[in-house]
């Protein structure tokens, strides 16, 4: 009997490691994983503290919209350049530079805030600086995963990376709230600056990294243009990027209306808003955990199609309900579908990209995901003032469902007809 229990325990442990955490077998990925967990927590803390501080200084919700715009517009403009650099130079060194710059930026912001010398325009300045850093850091980080894990574990590494983002999305704001109440926003900025240090140490401790050693003979601008050409000519990549753009611009931007939905329509107040956001976060977290072991490209296409329907239907139903409980349930469903789509798109692009174009293709993914959201947020806020919150959500849900399902069907069709071949750089094929 004891031997049988021991055998079962070993079997379960083996299943858990291979299914959910296979990429953690890599020492380099373990280092990055735990360092990234700390730095992501700090990033979410700064995001909350920065927004709260601006609202306290200006008492303007419009300013919050412009703050989001200031932080994300550099990603829209510069992410392709960041991706091109990630394909030309050592991704490890690029990350060391971006993480160091993040330490310096957050530390200066903390000093100005704690010393009570911070002005409103400086909040926008630091948000823009952070956006510039992210334009180079995020595409490089995504591409760097392929340098530190075996190819068979790459999909699991992407999922665990997504799991970290959604987990710290809950932890960071919670800690920020405690620190803001007791010590002030400046200490959130200081903690964020310190939180990048473990990631820097983790990168420095890595050994035997499969560096990107592809020689690039053309200029960076030519590399960017080539990247756009490759993404545009490959049917699956093109449709995945378009679907992600739809999710960012039309789908996810409805969250700007949640405070009004909670306070004015559901009469749930600030506490209810927290529960609504928490419901969406819980759905996202479960999706990220559930898909940690999923890597079948044909299955990913089907999941994208299914979750396009679920996300759009969730938005449409949300526009018809005055029930707080039903709204929370629908937001859970929306959060789940959102992460499944994003995680699947990320995995498929990484599966299809060869190393010499990985940085550029991931930069386009980051561009449409993060660069378009502020525009969608501003559009939703403007539209809600004229046709109302429910009508705005209904319009977004209907438009997203029609367009996203159409695109998702094309993705599934292209996968089934065998168009899921690996993408290589045109210039590299010529050489």
Same domain, residue pair 379 and 282? yes
The mean pLDDT value for 40-49 works out to 89
CATH number for 350 = 1.20.1250.20
Q: How many CB atoms lie within 10 A of CB 101?
A: 17
Q: Is residue 408 in some structural domain?
A: yes
- Give the pLDDT band of residue 234 (cuts 50, 70, 90): confident
Task: Check pLDDT > 70 for residue 210.
Answer: yes
Q: Does the residue 2 lie in any domain?
A: no
Across the range 42-67, mean pLDDT stands at 82
Q: Give dist(CA 385, CA 5) in Å, integer.
A: 63
Residues 195 and 234 grouped into a single domain: no
Give a yes or no: residue 399 inside a domain: yes
H-only helix segments in 353-388 = 355-366, 373-387
Task: Please state the separation of Cα 216 from the chain's center in Å.
Answer: 29
Looking at the structure, tell me whether residues 133 and 251 fall in a common domain. Answer: no
Q: Are residues 273 and 367 in the same domain?
A: yes
> What is the domain count for the chain?
2
Judgement on whether residues 254 and 161 belong to the same structural domain of the protein:
no
Domain that holds residue 173: 8-213
318 domain-assigned: yes
Same domain? 68 vs 208: yes
Phi, psi of 144 (to 5 degrees): -65, -25
Residues 165 and 274 occupy one common structural domain: no
pTM for the full model?
0.84
Least confident range of 61-70, 253-262, 419-428: 419-428
**What would the mean pLDDT of 65-70 be, rounded to a whole number?**
81
Choose the final residue of a domain: 160, 183, 213: 213
Please check whether residue 1 lies inside any domain of the structure: no
State whether 208 and 244 are in the same domain.
no
User: If DSSP codes are grouped into helix, strand and coil, which group holds residue 423?
Assistant: strand
Residues 77 and 156 reside in one and the same domain: yes
Which of these, 73, 40, 268, 330, lies nearest to 169 by C-alpha position? 40
3-class DSSP assignment, residue 353: strand
Q: Is residue 320 part of a domain?
A: yes
Task: Dump strand ranges (E) for 179-314.
Answer: none
CA atoms within 13 A on the CB side of 117: 6
Residue 220 lies in a domain: no
pLDDT(128) > 70: yes
State both tokens at 389.
Answer: 């919150």
Quick: pLDDT tens for 5-38: 443 344 334 434 455 677 888 889 999 999 999 9
Whether 54 is covered by a domain: the verdict is: yes
**Are 177 and 300 in the same domain?**
no
């Amino acid at each position: 009997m004891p031997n049988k229990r021991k055998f079962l325990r070993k079997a379960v442990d083996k299943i858990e490691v291979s299914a959910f955490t296979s990429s953690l077998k890599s020492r380099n990925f373990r280092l990055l994983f735990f360092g990234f967990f700390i730095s992501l927590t700090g990033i979410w803390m700064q995001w909350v503290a920065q927004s709260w501080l601006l609202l306290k200084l200006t008492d303007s919700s419009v300013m919050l919209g412009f703050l989001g715009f200031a932080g994300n517009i550099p990603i829209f403009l510069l992410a392709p350049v960041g991706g091109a650099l990630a394909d030309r130079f050592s991704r490890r060194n690029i990350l060391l530079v971006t993480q160091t710059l993040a330490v310096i930026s957050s530390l200066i912001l903390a000093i100005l805030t704690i010393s009570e010398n911070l002005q409103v325009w400086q909040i926008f300045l630091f948000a823009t600086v952070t956006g510039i850093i992210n334009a180079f850091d995020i595409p490089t980080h995504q591409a760097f995963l392929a340098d530190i894990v075996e190819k068979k574990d790459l999909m699991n590494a992407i999922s665990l990376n997504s799991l970290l983002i959604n987990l710290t999305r809950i932890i960071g704001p919670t800690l920020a709230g405690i620190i803001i109440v007791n010590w002030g926003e400046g200490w959130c900025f200081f903690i964020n600056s310190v939180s990048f240090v473990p990631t820097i140490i983790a990168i420095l401790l890595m050994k035997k990294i499969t560096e990107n050693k592809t020689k690039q003979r053309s200029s960076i601008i030519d590399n960017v243009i080539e990247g756009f050409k490759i993404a545009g000519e490959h049917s699956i990549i093109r449709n995945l990027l378009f679907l992600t753009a739809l999710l960012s611009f039309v789908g996810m931007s409805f969250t700007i209306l949640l405070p009004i939905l909670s306070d004015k329509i559901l009469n749930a107040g600030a506490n209810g808003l927290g529960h609504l956001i928490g419901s969406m976060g819980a759905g996202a977290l479960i999706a990220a955990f559930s898909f940690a072991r999923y890597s079948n490209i044909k299955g990913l296409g089907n999941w994208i199609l299914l979750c396009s329907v679920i996300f759009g239907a969730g938005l449409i139903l949300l526009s018809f309900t005055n029930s707080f409980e039903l709204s929370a349930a629908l937001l859970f469903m929306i959060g789940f579908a959102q992460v499944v789509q994003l995680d699947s798109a990320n995995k498929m692009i990484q599966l299809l990209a060869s190393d010499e174009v990985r940085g550029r293709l991931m930069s386009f993914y980051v561009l449409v995901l993060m660069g378009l959201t502020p525009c969608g947020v501003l559009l939703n806020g403007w539209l809600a003032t004229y046709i109302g919150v429910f009508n705005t959500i209904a319009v977004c849900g209907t438009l997203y469902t029609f367009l996203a399902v159409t695109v998702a069907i094309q993705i599934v069709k292209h996968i089934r007809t065998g168009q899921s071949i690996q993408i290589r750089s045109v210039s590299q094929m010529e050489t």
